[in-house]
């Protein structure tokens, strides 16, 4: 039995391989600047910022779209004294981007207008937002909820909370998140789990903390947590939104539950194999977790 390879070699190598590539990031920044310039001419814009995985540095190459929040002035949200539906604002955004980028794929992606890059296969997701208030010194905004209404969010608060947990974990949490997002995409159809849910669950579950914990152990503990909670919504650790769901439908929830059980079984088997120093078997088990994209 071969025992020379360190037990975490493959996972560490995978964590390095899935980092966003410079070409992707350069293309994304170029599209962001172009879209911002366009929307500033078409709408009353008060600000803009990155949000999501790229802002928290938990994005993975090829799969993580660039989320971009465009903060519009209050006149863009009202018709007379009445606040319009989020669908109305989002449709106006879509129409404007389709006019400006007729050769690109522009479509609605639940709460955002999604603009396809073309060359990289990624998208720039533009989320319209209205400033609401400050909570504990952090700005809170209203963004579309996907059903015509509005939901509260605070990227600054969520990003700060993730950064605190990143430091508490000994700077492991970002790579754990990236590995989980690679797990999400390592099959023909991506697993129905939101990246935001992954990051906020990492903030509340404590799976990244503990002396000497390896990436593999953290992954196993995350899957174990999903199984134990049956992938239920997580309470927003910042208290901005009420609860954060992994997905939208019962069918998606059941599919994620099955995937979590499968991943936990094989991650647990991989850890046991590592403890026996049977690294070929450990790598085989991790290969099953990541569906051959390991």
- Extract the tokens encoding 203: 């903030």
| pLDDT computed for residue 119 by the predictor | 57
**Cβ contacts of 3 within 8 Å, gap of 6 or more:** 277, 279
In a domain, 230, yes or no: yes
In a domain, 2, yes or no: no
Please, are residues 31 and 115 in contact by the beta-carbon 8 Å criterion?
yes
In a domain, 46, yes or no: yes
Q: Report phi then psi at 8, rounded to 5.
A: -105, 10
In a domain, 273, yes or no: yes
Gyration radius from the chain CA atoms: 20
| pLDDT computed for residue 211 by the predictor | 79
Q: How many helices (H) and strands (E) does the chain have?
A: 10, 11
| pLDDT computed for residue 117 by the predictor | 67
| pLDDT computed for residue 188 by the predictor | 85
Angle, CA 52 vertex, CA 46 and CA 58 arms, to 5°: 145
pLDDT in tens, 205-216: 999 988 789 999
Domain holding 248, by residue range, is 9-289
- Extract the tokens encoding 21: 């590539």
Please, are residues 166 and 104 in contact by the beta-carbon 8 Å criterion?
no
Residue 92 burial by Cβ neighbours in a 10 Å radius (0-12, 13-18, 19+): middle
In a domain, 193, yes or no: yes
pLDDT tens digits in sequence order for the chain, 294 residues long: 444 445 455 788 888 899 988 877 787 778 888 889 999 999 999 999 889 999 999 999 888 888 999 999 999 998 888 899 999 999 999 999 999 888 888 999 888 999 886 655 668 899 999 999 998 889 999 999 988 999 999 999 999 999 999 999 999 999 999 999 999 999 889 999 999 999 999 999 999 988 789 999 999 999 999 999 999 999 999 999 888 999 989 999 999 999 999 999 999 999 999 999 999 899 899 999 998 876
- Extract the tokens encoding 270: 């991989």
| pLDDT computed for residue 123 by the predictor | 82
CA dihedral of residues 9, 271, 231, 142 (deg, nearest 10): -30
Dist CA 121 CA 115 (whole Å): 10
In a domain, 156, yes or no: yes
| pLDDT computed for residue 3 by the predictor | 45
Give the chain's domain count: 1
In a domain, 4, yes or no: no
Dist CA 32 CA 28 (whole Å): 6
- Extract the tokens encoding 265: 């079984």
pTM recorded for the entire structure: 0.90
Dist CA 205 CA 131 (whole Å): 30
**Cβ contacts of 198 within 8 Å, gap of 6 or more:** 58, 177, 180, 181, 184
| pLDDT computed for residue 1 by the predictor | 42
Cα distance between the two ends of the chain? 22
Residues in the chain: 294
Give the number of other CB atoms < 10 A from CB of residue 76: 19
* Element of type H or E holding 273: helix 250-275
Give the domain CATH number at 202: 3.30.460.10
């Amino acid at each position: 039995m071969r025992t020379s390879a360190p037990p975490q070699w493959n996972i560490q190598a995978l964590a390095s391989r899935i980092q966003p590539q410079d070409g992707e990031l350069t293309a994304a920044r170029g599209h962001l600047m172009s879209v911002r310039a366009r929307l500033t001419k078409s709408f009353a814009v008060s600000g803009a910022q990155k949000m999501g995985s790229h802002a928290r540095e938990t994005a993975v190459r090829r799969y993580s779209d660039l989320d971009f929040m465009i903060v519009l002035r209050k006149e863009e949200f009202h018709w007379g004294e009445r606040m319009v539906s989020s669908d109305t604002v989002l449709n106006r955004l879509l129409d404007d981007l389709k006019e400006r980028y007729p050769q690109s794929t522009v479509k609605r992606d639940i709460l955002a207008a999604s603009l396809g890059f073309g060359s990289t296969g990624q998208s720039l997701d533009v989320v319209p937002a209205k400033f609401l208030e400050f909570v504990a010194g952090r700005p809170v905004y209203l963004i579309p909820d996907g059903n015509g209404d509005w939901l509260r969010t605070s990227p600054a608060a969520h990003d700060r909370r993730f950064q605190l947990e990143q430091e508490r974990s000994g700077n492991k949490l970002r790579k754990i998140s990236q590995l989980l997002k690679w797990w999400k995409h390592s099959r023909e159809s991506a697993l129905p789990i939101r990246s935001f849910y992954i990051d906020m669950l990492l903030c509340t579950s404590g799976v990244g903390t503990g002396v000497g914990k390896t990436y593999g152990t953290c992954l196993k503990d995350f899957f174990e947590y999903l199984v134990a909670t049956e992938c239920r919504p997580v309470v927003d650790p910042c208290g901005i939104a009420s609860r954060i769901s992994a997905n939208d439908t019962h069918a998606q929830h059941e599919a994620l539950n099955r995937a979590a059980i499968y991943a936990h079984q094989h991650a647990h088997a991989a850890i046991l194999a590592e403890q026996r120093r049977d690294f070929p078997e450990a790598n085989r088990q991790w290969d099953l977790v990541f569906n051959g994209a390991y």
